[in-house]
Amino acid sequence: MKRNIIIDCDPGHDDAIEILLALKDDDANLLGITTVAGNQTVDKTTLDALKILSLAGEKNIDVAMGCPSPIIEKLSTAPDIHGVSGLDGANLPEPIRERDSRHAVDYIRDKLTEFKTATIVTTGPLTNIALLLTLYPEIKGNIDRIVWMGGSYSMGNITPDAEFNAYNDPEALKIVLDSNMDFTMITLDVTHKTLFFKEDIKKIEKLGTSVGKTVADLLNFFYKTYEDNFKLGGVPIHDACALVEALHPGFIKTQLLNVDVQISPGPSRGRTTVDFYSVTGKEKNTYVSTDIDVKKFKNYIFDTLGKYK
């Protein structure tokens, strides 16, 4: 049975691949895409989402633009990772349709009302989702779970303490953590295990399709910026991990734990504190990723992208 999902994202190379996978996953009923400022400004992330749908030849999926900035602090984009456009490295087709006129928050509310239930897969700052829960608390019962790519329990990638999505709107993350929702956090610790190497990228290019060629071009750019900045020897496809957890539970191991986030100014702003040993005695509020079957994950990406003709 297909699972209703809404993707809330900030394309971004890994978000783009997440969208392409969702369009070809037989278990996904993609209700729509909403965008938020993060990897780039919201006008760019919205344009990039529309371009990815054009690449896929998809004319029926809506894109609704969301919040242009975090709730409180200024936005920190990532041109050093994703380029000036947000999707540098490939020649993407122009959009074949206009974005939906509704704000992302209203769009998500409308889709949840129409379809009664859905999973929200959110792979950028949580600004849109926090506002949804704040403005329309009555819609909470229509959300079966929220799966987010963000946070960390051992490292940061924008500061020594903070993961990028958490850092960009920790107040929004705090709202979601305190919402009593079924919330899963796919952390940087686990997504960094999913490194794609040069031979993996070549395998995607050898699919021989326009989508495969474009994804390979995007990943080659992403690989270089990751090597320039982090020197991991490969490039992780972070956001696809959240999609896999939403659609195929079991690829990723999770543990129900208490999670909090640092919202005060200072060097630890955006840090996610994960209480593995229940030392605080606080209520367990988040399913936290602890491991992933990397072979199954990679094969899923190869097989699903291989459905494009």
pLDDT single digits (tens) 201-255? 999 999 999 999 999 999 999 999 999 999 999 999 999 999 999 999 999 999 9
- The pLDDT assigned to 10 comes to 98
Residue 14 pLDDT greater than 90, yes or no: yes
- The pLDDT assigned to 206 comes to 98
Residue 291 pLDDT greater than 90, yes or no: yes
Number of structural domains (the chain) is: 1
Residue 152 — left, alpha, or beta (φ > 0 → left; ψ -120 to 50 → alpha)? Answer: beta
- Mean pLDDT confidence for 68-97: 97
- The pLDDT assigned to 240 comes to 98
Cβ–Cβ contacts within 10 Å for residue 78, how many?
19
Helix (H) or strand (E) holding 148: strand 143-149
- The pLDDT assigned to 65 comes to 99
| Nearest one of 211, 145, 186, 196 to 291, comparing CA atoms | 186
- The pLDDT assigned to 58 comes to 98
pLDDT single digits (tens) 154-201? 999 999 999 999 999 999 999 999 999 999 999 999 999 999 999 999
Task: Calculate the average pLDDT of the chain.
Answer: 98
Confidence of residue 120 (pLDDT cuts 50, 70, 90): very high
The two structure tokens encoding residue 159: 């500061």
Q: Determine the structural domain holding residue 229 and report its residue range.
A: 3-305
| Nearest one of 32, 152, 30, 16 to 87, comparing CA atoms | 16
- The pLDDT assigned to 114 comes to 98
Q: Which residues are catalytic?
A: 238
Residue 1 pLDDT greater than 90, yes or no: no
For residue 119, give the CATH number of its domain.
3.90.245.10
